[in-house]
Amino acid sequence: MEIIDAQVHTWMTDRPRRPWAPDYRDKLGNSWTYLLHAGQTNTNEMAVLEMAEVGVDAALLSPVGVYGPDNSYEFEAVASFPRKFRVVGWIDWLADDVEERLAAGVPQGLVGVRVPEMRNRERHERGEFDRVLAACEDLGLVISIMVVHPLPEPMIKMLERYQGIKFVVGHMGMDFSPPVVGALPDDPFEKLPDILDLARLDNVHINLTGAPSVSRERFPFRDIWDGIHRIVDAYGADRVMWGSDYTRTAGLHSYWDGTHYLKEVSGLSGDELVKVYGATVRRVFNWSDE
């Protein structure tokens, strides 16, 4: 069974040869979730070794933010390890040449873009995303989104309107990004019904990135099994993807545990595991090694 990680971050510490974006610290320096990365490095080569150690065959790379909307480090990974990586990149959706930037990224391994700001009602009302949505539809690029609750109506209308775009809802549709230390809700799945309602839209998919980090138990994280079953039952394994987000969750559990717990979840069939672990990523992101 092929295992593809739907979210891995690679980056270097701030250095002259590969400097961070000048405004990174000003924008995000007070966010502990981003500071989690500041003293570390996880190079493309390190990611290959980590993946091999736990039996992960390939991964989608998503920038962590230190380079802003520059995806060149991730593109270098694809060039060096073409069978291991593809890129779900960041984009300046307001750039005058956004269409050209996206088109230029496709031959370098760009298969999607991540636009967390699409959860912002005011940005939708200003029409900020019209051009990037049209460009992604033309290029066949997937769009990864984050959500807030209650779900903004303009975002739901966007999902309904752009049936030609495949959208992926990150982190199980929770309005927080794992890991959560000291502030985990009593029921991390309490807002799941609104996300399950989006399953009525065939172009909406969901990933399980960081799921074990909302567990209060150790491997195999039995207290999240019901939530996972509800997601798979609603969306079907054809629209659900496993992902580790291991650089952000390693303090809570190992990469191995975050990878292999799904095999322990009772009631998931072998066919469902094949899809959730890798086949769905291949199909949704049109990832072929040929």
> Which domains, and CATH codes, for the chain?
4-284 (3.20.20.140)
Reported pTM: 0.95
Q: What is the pLDDT along the chain (290 residues), one digit of tens a residue?
A: 999 999 999 999 889 999 999 988 887 767 666 666 666 899 999 999 999 999 999 999 999 888 999 999 999 999 999 999 999 999 999 999 999 999 999 999 999 999 999 999 999 999 999 999 999 999 999 999 999 999 999 999 999 999 999 999 999 998 877 766 667 888 999 999 999 999 999 999 999 999 999 999 999 999 999 999 999 999 999 999 999 999 988 888 999 999 999 999 999 999 999 999 999 999 999 999 76
Report how far residue 98's alpha carbon sits from residue 8's, in angstroms, rounded to the nearest whole number.
24
Report how far residue 238's alpha carbon sits from residue 217's, in angstroms, rounded to the nearest whole number.
28
What is the per-residue pLDDT for 38?
Answer: 60
What is the per-residue pLDDT for 26?
Answer: 83
Angstrom CA distances, 104 to 44, 80, 97, 138, stand at: 21, 18, 11, 13
Q: Degrees (nearest 5) of the Cα angle 213, 217, 221?
A: 70
Report how far residue 188's alpha carbon sits from residue 175's, in angstroms, rounded to the nearest whole number.
10
What is the per-residue pLDDT for 24?
Answer: 85
* 113 in Cβ contact with 145 (< 8 Å): no
Report how far residue 99's alpha carbon sits from residue 69's, in angstroms, rounded to the nearest whole number.
14
Report how far residue 227's alpha carbon sits from residue 246's, in angstroms, rounded to the nearest whole number.
20
Task: Reduce the secondary structure of the chain to three states and give it as a string.
Answer: CCCEEEEECCECCCECCECCCCCHHHHHCCCHHHHHHHCCCECHHHHHHHHHHHCCCEEEECCCCCCCCCCHHHHHHHHHCCCCEEEEECCCCCCCCHHHHHHHHHHHCEEEEECHHHHCHHHHHCCCCHHHHHHHHHHCCEEEECCCCCCCHHHHHHHHHCCCCCEEEHHHHCCCCCCCCCCCCCCCCCCHHHHHHHHHCCCEEEECCCHHHHCCCCCCCHHHHHHHHHHHHHHCHHHEECCCCHHHHCCCCCHHHHHHHHHHCCCCCHHHHHHHHHHHHHHHCCCCCC
